[in-house]
């Protein structure tokens, strides 16, 4: 009876892992063939600069900027959903959180905010747009195929 806290901790950890797994599966399901892991890794420095620039933009709604500041704090924090020492999964949870926050920013502030603050190449911006599109870029990708075919 005095070990209820241990079971509560196990339940909380299991719940977090289950939620992370569901989110990772959803992102995996909505991925596109146009975006590779190597391409995503090349975007990392530009995405960090983008998040910092968006967080400093006073023209964006306060809620958006708060999310971005919290994202930067989460990324700088040694505490993660899955510790970074766990191979692959440790970094994947950070990427998942970044994508979810950027999707939220695009829904609230618009795609033009990304374009305005993007420090990288146009190809990098196009890849980021595919990743953060609400439908995983599938609608835009299908539209391009229709126009091309």
CA distance 1 to 135: 47
Which residue ranges make up each domain of the chain?
A: 4-148
Encode pLDDT of 124-147 as tens digits. Answer: 888 888 878 765 444 444 444 434
- By C-alpha distance, which of 20, 72, 28 is closest to 50? 72
Encode pLDDT of 74-131 as tens digits. Answer: 888 877 777 767 776 677 777 788 888 999 999 999 899 999 999 988 888 888 888 7
CA distance 68 to 83: 21
pTM, entire model = 0.63
């Amino acid at each position: 009876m005095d070990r209820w806290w241990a079971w509560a901790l196990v339940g909380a950890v299991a719940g977090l892992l289950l939620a992370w797994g569901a989110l990772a599966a959803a992102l995996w399901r909505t991925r596109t063939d146009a975006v590779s892991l190597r391409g995503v890794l090349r975007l990392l420095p530009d995405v960090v600069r983008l998040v910092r620039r968006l967080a400093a933009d006073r023209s964006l709604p306060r809620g958006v900027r708060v999310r971005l500041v919290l994202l930067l704090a989460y990324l700088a924090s040694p505490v993660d959903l899955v510790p970074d020492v766990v191979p692959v999964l440790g970094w994947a949870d950070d990427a998942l959180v970044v994508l979810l926050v950027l999707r939220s920013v695009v829904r609230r502030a618009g795609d033009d905010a990304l374009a305005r603050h993007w420090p990288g190449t146009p190809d990098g911006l196009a890849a980021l747009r595919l990743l953060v599109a609400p439908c995983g870029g599938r609608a835009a990708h299908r539209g391009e195929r229709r126009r091309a075919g």
